[in-house]
Structure 1
Amino acid sequence: MRFTKEYPQHRVNRQRRTIYILPLGPFPPGHAGQSTAAAAAGASTSAGETEAGSSSSDRGATGGAEGGACPSSRTDKVLLSWLQKFCQCFFLGVDVKFLDPVRVREVQCKTRINEHTKQWQLLSKDILDYLVSKKPRDAICLVAVTMLDLYPSDSWNFVFGQASLVTGCGVFSFARYDENFYYIPRDRQKAKKSELEEFNMPPVTSVLLLRACKVMTHELCHMFGMKHCIYFSCCINGSNSRDESDRRPVDLCPICLRKLQEAVDFRLAVRFRAMLEYCTKESWDSGVPAPPLEAFESFKTWLEKVLVFLEEPPVAGSEESSQASN
């Protein structure tokens, strides 16, 4: 396909078949650099292209009841593990690994306080430059994830994430997916730089997890050589606000799914089955806490319908049956 010829470095092969995720800035202890099993064990003993928008449109983002909120003492230890597993299902056949966390001061990126939200922001371009020098040799891509807000240039308000198709590096933020993000602290202009290293984890609800999975896979798709989709409703559509981001589906449209399949080489039914198991609470191992999945229900129903179509044999005499016999 043309897009894999244009960016052959993003096609999975024996030398490059790992997605690396780098936690940046304040994350809870034990969160980063752990396997799913290790994170779960800790929980059981512990209580480019940009996505941008305006603060005014974001204030009307999805609200109301967010079912499935979990106590932060548990989900702090496993949130990244839930994201890791979703990523493994979405990019089936690709290894997903965490690198050791990095503090903001180590990246030496430019920072500012947003004039609208009074929240700290990191310059995403500086982060991308830092990641290029840290990218492992066997990496398909390296992506940084942060709980701090991002901006791509002085003239922009914010970005959800930014990725480079050329370098295979990206960064995305979960900051604006916290419903409390727009509560402006008093005298925020006097905030100290030390706050960039303080951890402030929002409650992990099913809605926050769904949003996090969507922005993660969106940015990673860019690093497989895929540009914003202009054909159908697709998880890699562009967006200018959290409202638009929320309206994007979880998965790719048929055209973009075919592109990803060309780059990664997976069987469709096997991939959809893995994603359905992720969305089914009963399928989670007893040693790994199941994530809050209420917001995934419509996606789960869609997956079930897709699998019926893919896995049921065609009816004798139908057009599909005739094609299969040829």
Structure 2
Amino acid sequence: MSMEVVPLQPPKCRHSSLSVTSSAHAAEVRYRRPTASQRAAAATLNGWRKKGTKLSDYSSTYPAPLVLPDDDLAVDPEYPPQSVRQWLEEEDRNEVTPKKNVVYVAVPPETEKDNDFIRIWTQPQLEGTEQAINMPSVQDLVDYLTAFYHGITVRLLPPPRLRFQSWNDGTGRTSKRTAKAKSAAPRQIGLDTAKGRFPIRTRASKDRLYERQFNLDDLLDAAIGILPDDAYALLLVVDHDLYEDEDDVFVCGRAYGGSRVAVVSTARYNPLLDGVQGVEREHAWPASHCEAYFQDCCDAAEPQQSAKKKVKAREAEPDRLEEGAETPLRAAVTAYTALPSLSSRPSVAALSSLWLNRVCRTGSHELAHCLGIDHCVYYACIMQGSSSIREDARQPPYLCPIDMAKLVRATGTDEWERYRALLGVCEKRCETHGFAAFGAWITARLAVAGGTNSV
């Protein structure tokens, strides 16, 4: 069964007012953000803030989590925070050492012609008129991660390349069996590696956007099995759709932090699926902080809310940034809106870069779990949990001050050199919305810092 693409609507919003606090829905689900004093203490190595120290206002650079209806923090508003001190004391956290200091990225496993049915499973089941777009380049992902994890070596996993095969085929040549397997949809295929063949379970996709899905836990187990001796971590990239347990519709990635492995799927980030999945490009980060968008999301989720309750919610006006305010968030939105709209006839190149940007953000997130960094509840941050593909698009690519402190400690990098490395990557893709916005955010962040080494 194929699904028809829902046309994306042309842009209508100017994002004139940006909210730097959580939505009104946050109070309704009883999400209580740590106070400014608690956030300042959480960023220190000893877990306390020196009495009398002036609190910095980071709101125009690091806004509060959105907490829109059905967001991860709206579903689990009491998720425990992880301070720098708690991170340091985490028993399962692995240190980067001189002997284990390389992050490897594995190119999506290839599929030979005799098992072409496995490759076909990477193609979304859509009926539409949009032109096919290029899958993200893994080398481009490596370049981005090299800057994001400045201080750690990031490189491609060396040959031989991983390969998907029919599980019972030791040679890769089972033409009759393969023909039957295609129609029978095998429940298990094999992942061939230099260290042997690993079984990977498959199942039919619940929402039928893809024909078959691979089991995430099996892929993670395989990643553990091929982890190089000098690896700090391994990120396995796959082009197939994934599931983790029978209740899942899909998952985009996961990390076994203690085992130092992560898997990320490119499948659901394909922009051609945005209409079907309800991903709104116009209000992706940084425009996700648009105040009008906040209100629309909250109103749409609670249509039965009483008029009195609605008025009361709107009286609690959030802090906002009006047009003209020179801040990192506003700079990011200005750069984002200066480019041609992604909602109305975007170019193939723009969509391809959008796809890459999404995979870069998820790859960054999952590898941070390998460093022991947990989900963030303090700020809008790349380390926030995500409960949907829609929420994923709304989250920022940067680390908040607390998670930045963890990264700097783990990698031994200099925060400002790291920003400059990321800026170099973003400037090479300044025609791309996500990269252009992040580059503008970094530039403004460096300007706000004024060359100092304090956050």
Equivalent residue in structure 1 for 2:441, among 299, 302, 305 = 302
AA at the equivalent of 1:180: L
**1:6 pairs with 2:70:** no
> Given the superposition, is the C-alpha separation of residues 313 and 272 from structure 1 closer, same or farther in structure 2, using an over 3 Å criterion?
closer
Whether the 8 Å CA contact 1:206–1:291 is kept in 2: the answer is no
Deviations 1:206-231 (A, max 9, x none): 21111011010010011110111111
Q: 5 Å matches for 1:80-229?
A: 80-99=138-157, 100=159, 101-104=161-164, 105-106=190-191, 107-119=198-210, 120-181=212-273, 205-229=352-376
**How much has 1:5 moved relative to structure 2?**
3.5
Q: In the alignment, is residue 17 of structure 1 matched against residue 108 of structure 2?
A: no
Deviation at 1:95, TM superposition (A): 0.8
CA deviation map 1:126-153 (0-9, x unaligned):
1111111111121111111011111111
Q: Secondary structure at the match of 1:222?
A: helix
SS of residue paired to 1:6: coil
Q: Note the alpha carbon deviations across 1:99-128, whole angstroms, 9 max, x for none.
A: 233123223210112121241211000111
Check conservation: 1:4, 1:10, Cα contact below 8 A: no
Distance 1:152 1:306, change over 3 A: same
Distance 1:93 1:179 in 2: 32
**Distance verdict in 2 for CA 1:162–1:89, change over 3 Å:** same
Which residue pairs with 1:293 in the alignment?
Answer: 432
CA contact (8 A) 1:276 1:303 kept: yes
Once the 2 structures are TM-superposed, how far is the Cα of residue 11 of structure 1 from its aligned partner?
2.2
Displacement of 1:26? 4.0
Structure 1 residues 128 and 312, CA, compared in 2 at 3 Å: closer, same or farther?
closer
Q: What is the aligned residue count?
A: 248
Q: Distance in 1 between matches of 2:215 and 2:90?
A: 28
Q: State the 1:266 CA deviation.
A: 0.8
Report what 1:242 is aligned to: 389
Given the two structures, how large is their TM-score scaled by the length of structure 2?
Answer: 0.50
Percent identical among aligned pairs is: 28
C-alpha offsets along residues 62-118 of structure 1, whole Å, 9 cap, x if unaligned? xxx9xxx9984xxx6x81111111101000011112123312322321011212124
Structure 2 portions without partners, runs of 5+: 1-84, 113-129, 165-189, 192-197, 277-347
1: CA distance between counterparts of 2:256 and 2:230? 17
Which residue of structure 2 lines up, in the alignment, with residue 36 of structure 1? none
Partner AA of 2:234 in structure 1:
L
Residues 308 and 128 from structure 1, CA distance in 2 versus in 1: closer, same or farther, beyond 3 angstroms? same
The answer to whether the 8 Å contact 1:175/1:181 transfers is no
Residue of structure 1 in register with 2:422 after alignment: 275
Q: In the superposition, relative to structure 1, how do residues 173 and 83 fare at CA in structure 2: closer, same or farther (>3 Å)?
A: same
> How has the CA–CA distance of structure 1 residues 292 and 177 changed in structure 2, closer, same or farther, with 3 Å as cutoff?
farther
SS at match of 2:103: strand
Contact residue 10 and residue 263 of structure 1 kept, 8 A:
no
Letter of the 1:109 counterpart: I
Q: Using structure 1 for the length normalisation, give the TM-score.
A: 0.69
RMSD of equivalent CA atoms: 3.0
In structure 2, do the counterparts of structure 1 residues 20 and 4 end up closer, same or farther at CA, with 3 Å as the change threshold? farther
- Match in the other structure for 1:198: none
Q: Does 2:408 match 1:261?
A: yes
C-alpha contact (below 8 Å) 1:82/1:291 kept by paired residues? no
What letter is aligned with 1:80? V
SS at match of 2:258: coil
Matches of 1:142 and 1:125, distance apart in 2: 15
Kept in 2: contact 1:26–1:146 (CA 8 A): no
